[in-house]
Each structure stands twice: as C-alpha cells, then as structure tokens.
C-alpha cells in the first residue's frame, strides 16, 4: 500500500480496496445510512419556517449532497 503522507493509492491498490468494499457490503451499508440522513434532513427542513424559495434551495442542496439531484 502507499506509504502514509503520499496521499494517493496505486491503481492496483484502488482496485483491491474497491473489491474489499464490494465483498464486505460496505457500499450498501453506507447507502442505507446516506438515505436515512437524507430523510432526516428533509423532515427537519419541512418542520422549519423559511421562505419557499430558500426551502427549495436547501432541498436541492440536500439532493446534491446525497446524490439524488437530477441535473437541477
């Protein structure tokens, strides 16, 4: 593996890490938590009183951060 401080993995190391992540189910685990936090953020957003325009912008931000944006 790349030594600490180098800041980059070789292509072979990246492939090994990707395979480990897939095999261990880490991607699914992270996606589940991402969706839980997205829903929590949307619930909070729906409870606060802000102008509709600002609320739309905040919802777009939540969507972008969570990977749910559709090119908006």
Q: If we measure between CA atoms, which residue out of 52, 47, 43 comes closest to residue 62?
A: 43
Contact 53, 22 (CB under 8 A): no
Q: For 7-25, write each residue's pLDDT tens digit.
A: 789 999 999 998 998 899 8
| pLDDT, tens digit, 9 for 90 and up, residues 32-50 | 999 999 999 999 999 999 9
Q: Give the Cα separation of 32 and 29 in Å (integer).
A: 5
Whether 52 contacts 46, CB under 8 Å: no
Rounded CA gap, 15 and 31, in Å? 20
**pTM, two decimal places:** 0.61
Helix 52-65 vs helix 26-47: crossing angle, to nearest 10: 170
């Amino acid at each position: 593996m790349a030594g600490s401080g180098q800041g980059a993995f070789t292509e072979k190391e990246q492939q090994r890490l990707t395979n480990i992540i897939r095999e261990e189910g880490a991607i699914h685990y992270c996606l589940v938590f991402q969706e839980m936090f997205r829903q929590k953020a949307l619930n909070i957003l729906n409870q606060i009183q802000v102008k509709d325009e600002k609320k739309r912008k905040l919802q777009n931000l939540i969507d972008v951060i969570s990977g749910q944006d559709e090119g908006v």
